[in-house]
Amino acid sequence: MTEPIEAVLFDYGHTLIYFDERPHSALVSAYEKVNRFLADTLERDVPAAQVLIEQVSKAVDDEIQRDYAAGRPEEVEIATIYDRALRAIGLELEPALIERVMELEQEGWLNSVHVGPDVVATLDTLRRGRLRLGLVSNAAYLPRLMKAQLAALDLQPYFDAVSFSSEVGVRKPHPDIYADALSKLGVEARRALFVGDRVKEDVQGPKTLGMRAVLIREWRQEDDPGVADFVIQRLGELPAVISRLTPGGAAGRYL
């Protein structure tokens, strides 16, 4: 007998949100703030915003991408990467100042992050159905900055549990990050459904723990090799999927 679903866990990027590609004007504005902040704090000349973008922001992004491409399960220590990039242009900063640089850059990125068109209605529907909701995301940035982003997008109140790789220490598809979210939710894997856009991280990984999985193809079109329990084109199709996994006359709760 198929176990009823008690919780739905979501990927974040390209599942609930989508992004503009490196928004130049927003980054310039953010790094102009970084420039002023560091110049005032250090009481010295600091490289211009465009130099900071190329030598710090882009350098950090490139190093993170190389690390992800290498397939390591451990999440990067992002403050260390920023520290290395800043030292390369002659800026030795205390940890609190490095964290403030990261915070200012994240504030600049926020306008380039958009909540998907079906997200709020879908989350509202699932909450009305008394499902517990979790978020599991590979995110190198500090957990408090990621949670601040969720709050700014008005998404934080929907989730009973949030697990970022920067907090857990490992990335999807490592089992520990899914286990962390399931533990916070108080739900067994066999009673949970995972929804995401990547086969390896959001389908194969969750299924190794016994979760069922939905591959969404709204922004990223990965081909399913036959392992996903369901494939949907838009998040708005999810309540109907959950209805199929709900015993008896409860299906109407999700429609």
Domain spans of the chain, in order of start: 7-16+116-254, 24-111
Q: What is the pLDDT of residue 22?
A: 58
The yes or no reply on domain 7-16+116-254 and CATH 3.40.50.1000 is yes
Kindly report the backbone phi and psi dihedral angles of residue 133, in degrees, each rounded to the nearest multiple of 5, phi listed first. -120, 135
Buried b / exposed e over 207-221, threshold 16 CB at 10 Å, is bebebbbbbbebeee
Q: What is the pLDDT of residue 25?
A: 77
Kindly report the backbone phi and psi dihedral angles of residue 77, in degrees, each rounded to the nearest multiple of 5, phi listed first. -90, 95
Distance CA 21, CA 27 (A): 11
Tokens 């008394």 correspond to what residue?
130
Q: What is the mean pLDDT of each run of 10 residues along the chain (255 residues)?
A: 88 94 77 97 96 95 96 96 97 97 92 94 96 97 96 97 98 98 98 97 98 96 93 97 72 42
* For residue 175, cis peptide bond before it (omega within 30 degrees of 0): no
